Amino acid sequence: MPATQRMAISEVDGGAYKAVLGLQKYVNEGVVDALLRAIVDIRASQINHCAWCLDMHVAEARDAGAPQRQIDLIAAWREAPALFDDRERAALALTEQVTLISRQGVSDEVWAQVRAVFTEQETLELLMTIATINVWNRMNVAVRADLPTQPTVAG
């Protein structure tokens, strides 16, 4: 039996989305490229089981030039290291630990891996990217946001 949407957030108070869109605007205008943001968004959305966000960010990854094979294997990135460069692997490791932060926090090993390939500004923006997708995921999953009939494209 399909899940029934519990609430249409924008219909209750559009200001809720507007607040999160402020975070998204900061992320989108930063120095971290669109492909890396899409990969991070996909991995967090996989962990959080957010079909709505997966639908959007898989399309964004394609638009940003990700090969379909890379998109297909994001969930198993450790087993497909040739498909992901050092920055992508570091970003994926950080995404998993921040998304699942209650398990162990962010390890010194992963932090060092990130800092070895990202500047301080990029690290901050990567962290904000991960935080922002987790907000979207939690909102959509909690209310069981209806999956659009056509893929959603970020605006």
- In the chain, the domains with their CATH numbers are 17-143 (1.20.1290.10)
pTM above the 0.85 mark? yes
Read off the pLDDT of residues 47-105 as tens digits, 9 standing for 90 and up: 999 999 999 999 999 999 999 999 999 999 999 999 999 999 999 999 999 999 999 89
Structure tokens at 113: 């891996």
What is the Cβ-side half-sphere exposure of residue 118, based on CA atoms within 13 angstroms? 27
CA-nearest of 23, 60, 31 to 45 is 60
Tokens of 75: 């969930």
Alpha-carbon Rg for the chain in angstroms: 15
Please state the rounded mean pLDDT for residues 1-30.
Answer: 89
Helix count (H) and strand count (E) of the chain?
Answer: 9, 0
Residue among 34, 15, 23, 32 nearest 137 (CA): 23
Contact of 125 with 32, CB cutoff 8 Å = yes
Q: What is the pLDDT of residues 82-95, one digit of tens each?
A: 999 999 999 999 99
